[in-house]
Amino acid sequence: MACSPVTSLMHGKTCVITGANTGIGKAAAESLAALGAHVVIVCRNRERGEQARAAIFKAAQETGHGGEAELRVADLSSQSEVRAVARDILVAHPRIDVLVNNAGVALKRRELTVDGIERTFAVNYLAYFMLANLLLPGLRAAPSARIINVASGAHAGGKLEFDNLQGERRYKNVQMYASSKLEDVMFTYALARRLAGTGITVNTLHPGVVATEIWRQIAILRILSKWFMLSPEKGARTTVYLAASPDVDGVTGKYFDKCQPAKTTTLSHDETLQEKLWATSAALTGLEGGI
């Protein structure tokens, strides 16, 4: 079943969305700003981010619902930059209604971040873990808040090998990407369990197979994307639904595909592994106290 357009207005709501200078994130930010939200986009490049901010603001102006767009610059592969941007956002916005962890990469070769962490793992998963934890004071200040982690149907091909979490022993690029998306799903379930009863919901999703720049390093997918994939606007629909629709008020710990709850793999539901992943992530980021 296809998603129906969300029409509920987002006046007075602050939505933080990462990786929103292009692709699914930018399309989602445009839709949320058009519904009247104050959208804070977190991007790593100031120039591309500013161009996106202007386009998102224009989309908001066209509907006349009072939406705003604000840019924060941070390279989410760097833990110090994640901490700094979270701190700055909380100062400017003590109340956050929606956090969309969306930024992602699909890399051809193994690369390390400034912190010495494999980059796919760092951007696609560890930054989601950090931002959700660090922005919790703002999310708690909202009457009800939503965290949305953009995962993928590719999680089904993911593995959770604690002796090869960062591809240290064996590195296959597509496998690394799939595993990072499995970690997003498992993190969503673990965080939802911790936040049960707080008024903060946490959900995850598959956006569809979408023609975006994510395939820039993987040639075959880049070529196929031109013919077979969804537009970013269609790919953003489930994200916008989870951020804004009253249908999902109070719904937490679920994975959605085409705006419908869907199943994830048996592995993703393993609570022992979810907790081991949490503890490993807390140790890698210094967020030992966690929630």
Ligand X SMILES: NC(=O)c1ccc[n+]([C@@H]2O[C@H](COP(=O)([O-])OP(=O)(O)OC[C@H]3O[C@@H](n4cnc5c(N)ncnc54)[C@H](OP(=O)(O)O)[C@@H]3O)[C@@H](O)[C@H]2O)c1
Could you list the active site residues?
177
Q: How far is the CB of 238 from ligand X (least distance, A)?
A: 10
- Residue 282 dihedral angles phi and psi, to the nearest 5°: -60, -40
Q: Specify which residues 262 forms β-bridges with.
A: 255
Decide whether 25 or 138 has the Cβ nearer to ligand X: 25
Confirm or reject binding of residue 23 to ligand X (CB under 6 A).
yes
180 with 187: CB under 8 angstroms?
A: no
Helices and strands per DSSP (H, E), number in the chain: 11, 8
Confirm or reject binding of residue 105 to ligand X (CB under 6 A).
yes
257 with 204: CB under 8 angstroms?
A: no
Confirm or reject binding of residue 213 to ligand X (CB under 6 A).
yes
Confirm or reject binding of residue 203 to ligand X (CB under 6 A).
no
Decide whether 120 or 245 has the Cβ nearer to ligand X: 120
Which one among 10, 15, 16, 19 touches ligand X, defined by CB under 6 A?
19
Confirm or reject binding of residue 67 to ligand X (CB under 6 A).
no
Q: How far is the CB of 64 from ligand X (least distance, A)?
A: 27
Residue 142 CA: distances (Å) to CA of 71, 137, 190, 199: 21, 9, 21, 9
Encode burial over 54-68: b for 16+ CB neighbours within 10 A, e otherwise.
ebbbebbeeeeebbb
How far from each other are the two terminal CA atoms of the chain, in whole angstroms?
36
Decide whether 180 or 245 has the Cβ nearer to ligand X: 180
Q: How far is the CB of 257 from ligand X (least distance, A)?
A: 10
173 with 106: CB under 8 angstroms?
A: yes
Q: Which range touches ligand X (CB under 6 A), out of 87-95, 96-104, 140-148, 256-264? A: 96-104
Which one among 104, 138, 158, 167 touches ligand X, defined by CB under 6 A?
104
Which one among 123, 135, 244, 277 touches ligand X, defined by CB under 6 A?
123
Confirm or reject binding of residue 75 to ligand X (CB under 6 A).
yes
Confirm or reject binding of residue 55 to ligand X (CB under 6 A).
no
Joined tokens for residue 281: 């992530």
- # chain residues binding ligand X, by CB under 6 A: 28
Q: How far is the CB of 198 from ligand X (least distance, A)?
A: 25
34 with 91: CB under 8 angstroms?
A: no
Give the distance between the most distant pair of CA atoms in the chain.
Answer: 53
Residue ranges in 126-155 that form contacts with ligand X under rule CB under 6 A = 150, 152
Dist. CA 196–CA 260, nearest whole Å: 21
User: Which residue in the shown chain puts its C-beta closest to ligand X?
Assistant: 23
Report the 3 state secondary structure along 128-141.
HHHHHHHCHHHHHC
Confirm or reject binding of residue 212 to ligand X (CB under 6 A).
yes
Residue ranges in 233-252 that form contacts with ligand X under rule CB under 6 A = none
Q: Which residues contact 127 (CB under 8 A, 6 or more apart)?
A: 18, 76, 77, 82, 101, 103
Confirm or reject binding of residue 195 to ligand X (CB under 6 A).
no
Residues in touch with ligand X (CB under 6 A): 19, 21-25, 43-45, 48, 75-77, 102-105, 123-124, 150, 152, 206-207, 209-210, 212-214
